[in-house]
Amino acid sequence: MVAVESPRERTDAFLEVRNVGKSFGALQVLKDVSMSVAPGEFVCILGPSGCGKTTLLRIIAGLETQDAGQVVMAGQDISAWPTSKRGCGIVFQSYALFPNLTSAQNVAYGLHGRGKDKAAVQSRVKEMLALVGLESTANKYPAQMSGGQQQRIALARALATEPKLLLLDEPLSALDARVRLRLRLEIRQVQQRLGITTIMVTHDQDEALTMADRIVVMSEGRLAQYATPREVYGRPADPFVADFVGAMNFLGEADVVGEGQVKLGAATLDVDPERLDGRASGSVIVAIRPEDVRVGQDAANDANRLATKIEYVEFRGPFFRYGLRVPPDAEGREHFIEVDVAAKRAEALPHEPGADIEISLPAHRLHCFDAPVG
Amino acid sequence: MTHSPNQAAPKRQPDASARIRKALIVGFLAWMLLVVVLPVLKVVDRSLNAEVAASIWDDGAEVRVGGRRVHLSDGEAFIDDEPAKVVDKHIDERGVVADLADETQFKYVAVSQVVIERKERKIKPIEVRIDGADWYIDGVFIGPDDNPVREAARYIGLTRFKKYFSESSLYSSLFNSAFISVVATAIAVLLAFAYAYGITRTCIPGKGFFKTVAMLPLFAPTMLYGLSLVYLFGNKGLVTTGLFGKLPWLAWDIGLYGAKGIIIAESVFIFPSMFLILLVALGSTDARLYEAAESLGASKWRTFWTVTIPGVKFGLLSALFAGFTLCFTDFGAPKVVGGQFNILAVDIYKQVIGQQNFGMGATVSIVLLVPAIAAFVVDRIAQRRQSSAMSAKSVPFTPKPKPATDRAFLVVCGAIAAFILIMLFAAGFGSLVKMWPYDLSLSLKHYTFKDTGGGGYAAFWNSIRMSFYSAILGTAVAFAGAYLIEKSREMRLPRQIAYFLSILPLALPGLVIGIAYIFFFNQPRFEIFGMSIPNPFVALYGTMAILVIANVTHFFTVSFLTATTALRQLDGEFETVSESMGVPFYKTFARVTVPVSLPAIIEIALYFFVSSMATISAVIFLYPVDTPLASVAVINMDDAGDTAPAAAMCMLIVVTNLAVRFGFQFASRGLIARTQAWRQR
């Protein structure tokens, strides 16, 4: 088991969310959520739609008020502060660019009335447009720009007032796949250059994995895991995280039969003792990622070998995905496993449905989760 | 880690923006209460309470209280038209106590018994004291007054409603109103459907022209159709006399005055509203359904009944109810061509203006209001369904040329358009004729409004001023109200209530608004929780201001919904973005919301102006004697038999409205082009 990293371990936190709860009527959208963000850190809040991630962001921004708990910024409890006082830069999914103002006017929007003279405002606007690489569109209206350009103007506008915290609400989801990939990198670079503490909400795991320093995975209003991208992927805290981030084969419930051994149906599997968390009895759910399964010749001398039959093969470009059926064992349990094999390696393997193929489940790649109670 | 999930929610520190917004929402709510809810409740109140009407004339006096009548005539005293015994200038019988000053005047009358729901009931005595020319009711000084009709807060239950439904001279109007409304709606829906079908589903030429013509009746007061009908089918009408005897075979007296005249005029009046609804409904049917029906081999007839009609059924329903309500509550056309055929709307006018019987006026208003509200509810439900029928994936229908069908629809649409134009301009022609039907030479003499009442050009200019103010105030209130309701996050429940109150005026006939304002703004004091406080709004009564407020309320809902639709097209996060940057909401309102919504704002202002110019129903009860209005002048001149000047005044209204509508559209082109440059890609 991987422990959820306690947010209190970081004492130098810039932003802390403490035991925040929120309900809309009878619907509890946030349940006792706590997290802390270090200065300059880029945190992604990841989860399926309806998991409460946007509500959490809006509470941090002060656009919603929590029913319970606090939001603490730079050591100050800001729970009761209005949005305007919190000094967050926000970029919305829709960008919310003012359609009747040029991109320069949009970027300058928050700068007026801050005691800055005209020249200072203008130079700040120029600086911001340069930061996002759009000096040339200063006099264009939003409708005359591409989606990616609009997105960058929205970012420049949010950053222009020098916010202490940047909040991004699904900033890339309205863009084409190609533009999205490029902007992912650009936003991350801008964030690094300015060193601004950033929280981004997304439902796209690739975005979270590539951009974040740490990821908050949320499920049904609770925080499921808060860890670095590599940890979230490599050591998911529970079956939900395992399933939501990346692909995962769940092999079902297995009994722990000894130090580093579980019994899955009739088969006994070696597992990494560390993953059993010192357990010597009880039951766990065993799972493995498609790319971690070894196939054919590679598996020949491994432990945890299984004989399977091919049900289908899908070509996915850089790799093939095999759908494999493990025939019923002595206890009548059968499994279905998806396996990813690099295209080059797959050339040596059979492709026809019905063909026999041997696989192995490397012990140190097997995940063991708490079996559901009852 | 300490767990404290049950901590109380933090109390938010409001920022200045939120505080201002809250104050504005409360202000808007208070406005809607003041101009809609309280006045309408006052109508209900007046219909259920007794009132006192007292009059003195040279040789007698009369006091009417809660259905009782006490009067002196020729030195004799009567109670409810039965002689009463006078002993020592004192009367005390049948629940009436009175003291006489002399043989012709009362000094004091107290009524302590009225008939409530057919039973005699005791009430707290209503006292009228007369001291020379001064009147006191329940001890409150009324002053010397030509017409001291005052409310006396004594509950008399449904007495008046019972009376209404037991006297055929009264309740027959309800059936008459229902009858003409059903027939006119049925005629108009067939015509409007064919007309809209022709424009959306066939390839007839001149669609722009046909659309424009269909909208023209919106610019005219409803009296105009009545007047046009008089010129065509009246006693000396063009058709009735067979082109003044020149074409005797054409002579045809349709018996205009009465139900027939009202039905024809109302059919024209309600046509544009129904046409607009059907145009949208027919225009938003998914073309893919027709392709599917065709590929499945369905006949035209079957496709019509299985695709076309189900696709527009809610629009059809909505059009029917809108038409029915408009017709049921209209006053102008029946006033001109109704003759002896009584309808509800005219009854209210007669009760209030003719007989000064405000209590019965309130009662008839409620009778008028009930079907209007029922239609309003059905219409709201139908419109909600219709708007959800079209999905983003729907493909708009593009008609293919079919020569026979197209020709048939061209004939039908052409005939309808021609009839509308005739109804609009027959009176116009009549107004230019020197002396119909004897001297047919053309002249502008009826446009001088000499030798006729009504107020002439002063009335016309008053109407323009009133419409201008109504456009300014109405646009400001409707747009700001819609903005506060749509774009605020605070005060959810009050905003929902405010939305409901903004929709409500659609159900209020203009006459009801008029009578409600008489009651509400003219009462000297409010009695709340046993306290009596002077009415601070009484100063508005009898001024231009109350006319403007009445118009703003009367035409509020359509404008409010236009503003709401425009605002909903704006990104919902504009306000949040501004807030996060510390920019107050009113700056964003002025710099983004208003400029982006400018086309809708201009549309709303024009709608208020044009509607206020043409309206008669609300203002006829409220216009101050020294501020005559054009539409009221039309009624008064027509009443006096001055048909030609009445028609001339109608034409002035129509021409002004057309000039303002199209002139402004033309003039604002530059402004729109400048402020909407960002729409160009």
Lowest mean pLDDT among A126-130, B79-83, B117-121, B165-169: B117-121
Indicate if A238 and A272 belong to the same structural domain.
Answer: no
Predicted ipTM? Answer: 0.83
Indicate if A48 and A189 belong to the same structural domain.
Answer: yes
Indicate if A77 and A159 belong to the same structural domain.
Answer: yes
Interface membership of B15 toward A (CB under 8 Å): yes
Q: How confident is the model at residue A141 (pLDDT cuts 50, 70, 90)?
A: very high
Give the contacts of B240 (CB within 8 A, at least 6 positions apart): B232, B233, B234, B251, B252, B253, B254, B256
Indicate if A62 and A184 belong to the same structural domain.
Answer: yes
Domain extent at residue B566: 454-675
What pLDDT is stored for residue B410 in this prediction?
95
Q: Which amino acid is at B309?
A: I
- Say if CB A339 and CB A293 are below 8 A apart: yes
Indicate if B79 and B179 belong to the same structural domain.
Answer: no
Indicate if B139 and B183 belong to the same structural domain.
Answer: no
Q: How confident is the model at residue B30 (pLDDT cuts 50, 70, 90)?
A: very high
Residue A1 belongs to some domain of the structure: no
Measured CA angle at A41 (ends A37, A44), to 5 deg: 75
Report the half-sphere exposure of A114 (CA within 13 A, side-chain side).
17
User: Average model confidence (pLDDT) for chain B?
Assistant: 85
Residue A2 belongs to some domain of the structure: no
- Of the three residues A243, A269, A288, the one that is the final residue of a domain is A243
**CA pair distance B74, B58, nearest whole angstrom:** 10
Interface membership of A69 toward B (CB under 8 Å): yes
Interface membership of A147 toward B (CB under 8 Å): no
What pLDDT is stored for residue B6 in this prediction?
47
Indicate if B337 and B431 belong to the same structural domain.
Answer: yes
Indicate if A18 and A146 belong to the same structural domain.
Answer: yes
- Quote the DSSP letter at residue B14: P
- Say if CB B182 and CB B371 are below 8 A apart: no
Residue A334 belongs to some domain of the structure: yes
Indicate if B414 and B480 belong to the same structural domain.
Answer: no
Total domains in the fold of chain A: 2
**Chain A nearest C-alpha distance from B578 (Å):** 7
Residue B302 belongs to some domain of the structure: yes
Interface membership of A250 toward B (CB under 8 Å): no
Residues in chain A: 374
Interface membership of B592 toward A (CB under 8 Å): yes
Total domains in the fold of chain B: 3
- Of the three residues B96, B130, B157, the one that is the final residue of a domain is B157
Asked if B591's CB is within 8 angstroms of A144's CB, the reply is no
Domain extent at residue A81: 7-243
Q: How confident is the model at residue B2 (pLDDT cuts 50, 70, 90)?
A: very low
Q: How confident is the model at residue B9 (pLDDT cuts 50, 70, 90)?
A: low
CATH number, domain at A317?
2.40.50.100
Does residue B437 have a cis bond before it (omega within 30 degrees)?
yes
Question: Rounded to two decimals, what is the model's pTM?
Answer: 0.86
- Of the three residues A210, A243, A276, the one that is the final residue of a domain is A243
Interface membership of B678 toward A (CB under 8 Å): yes
Of B6, B581, B679, the CB nearest to A110: B581
Asked if A61's CB is within 8 angstroms of B580's CB, the reply is yes
What pLDDT is stored for residue B119 in this prediction?
66
Residue B315 belongs to some domain of the structure: yes
Interface membership of B596 toward A (CB under 8 Å): yes
Give the residue on B whose Cα is nearest the Cα of A140: B678
Lowest mean pLDDT among A330-334, B325-329, B418-422: A330-334
Chosen for mutation from A84, A88, A151 (greatest number of chain B CBs closer than 10 Å) is: A84
Indicate if B122 and B226 belong to the same structural domain.
Answer: no
Pairing of β B433-435 and β B60-65: unpaired
CATH number, domain at A93?
3.40.50.300
Query: What are the pLDDT digits (tens) for B595-607?
Result: 999 989 999 999 9
Indicate if A235 and A253 belong to the same structural domain.
Answer: no
Indicate if B500 and B649 belong to the same structural domain.
Answer: yes
Indicate if B254 and B380 belong to the same structural domain.
Answer: yes
Q: Which of A106, A201, A98, A199 is nearest to A161 (CA)?
A: A106
Indicate if B128 and B262 belong to the same structural domain.
Answer: no
Question: Rounded to the nearest 5°, which phi and psi values hold at B156?
Answer: -120, 15
Residue A85 belongs to some domain of the structure: yes
Query: What are the pLDDT digits (tens) for B180-203?
Result: 999 999 999 999 999 999 999 899
Residue B32 belongs to some domain of the structure: no
Indicate if A44 and A149 belong to the same structural domain.
Answer: yes
B507 three-class SS: helix
3-state SS track over A288-347: ECHHHCEEHHHHCCCCCEEEEEEEEEEECCCEEEEEEEECCCCCCCCEEEEEEEEHHHHC
Interface membership of B580 toward A (CB under 8 Å): yes
Q: What is the mean pLDDT of residues A175-185?
A: 90
B56 compared with A367, residue with greater pLDDT = A367
What pLDDT is stored for residue A331 in this prediction?
81
Residue B65 belongs to some domain of the structure: yes
Residue for token digits 């603490």? A72
Give the contacts of B138 (CB within 8 A, at least 6 positions apart): B126, B127, B152
**CA pair distance B471, B602, nearest whole angstrom:** 10
What pLDDT is stored for residue B495 in this prediction?
94
Asked if B7's CB is within 8 angstroms of A19's CB, the reply is yes
Indicate if A153 and A128 belong to the same structural domain.
Answer: yes
Asked if A143's CB is within 8 angstroms of B678's CB, the reply is yes
Q: What is the mean pLDDT of residues A104-118?
A: 88
Residue A356 belongs to some domain of the structure: yes
Residue for token digits 């001890």? B139
Query: What are the pLDDT digits (tens) for A24-35?
Result: 988 999 999 999
Indicate if A304 and A356 belong to the same structural domain.
Answer: yes
Indicate if A172 and A101 belong to the same structural domain.
Answer: yes
Percent of chain A residues past pLDDT 90, beyond the cut: 68
- Of the three residues A215, A243, A271, the one that is the final residue of a domain is A243
Residue B180 belongs to some domain of the structure: yes
What pLDDT is stored for residue B387 in this prediction?
57
Residue A133 belongs to some domain of the structure: yes
A3 compared with B108, residue with greater pLDDT = B108
Token pair in block for residue B510: 């203009």
Indicate if B144 and B174 belong to the same structural domain.
Answer: no
Secondary structure element (H or E) that encloses residue B211, with its range: helix B207-215
Of B1, B591, B681, the CB nearest to A6: B1
Query: What are the pLDDT digits (tens) for B327-383?
Result: 999 989 999 898 889 999 888 888 888 777 788 888 889 988 988 888 888 877 777
Q: Which residues of A touch B7 (CB under 8 A)?
A: 19, 68-70
Indicate if B536 and B408 belong to the same structural domain.
Answer: no
Give the residue on B whose Cα is nearest the Cα of A139: B678
Interface membership of B677 toward A (CB under 8 Å): yes
Indicate if B378 and B489 belong to the same structural domain.
Answer: no
Indicate if B458 and B441 belong to the same structural domain.
Answer: no
Indicate if A187 and A308 belong to the same structural domain.
Answer: no
Residue B260 belongs to some domain of the structure: yes
Q: Which residues of B touch A161 (CB under 8 A)?
A: 581-582
Q: What is the mean pLDDT of residues A297-308?
A: 84
Lowest mean pLDDT among A74-83, B48-57, B70-79, B453-462: B48-57
CATH number, domain at B586?
1.10.3720.10
Residue B316 belongs to some domain of the structure: yes
Q: Which amino acid is at A172?
A: L
Q: How confident is the model at residue B221 (pLDDT cuts 50, 70, 90)?
A: very high
- Say if CB A324 and CB A357 are below 8 A apart: yes
**CA pair distance B59, B49, nearest whole angstrom:** 30
Residue B111 belongs to some domain of the structure: yes
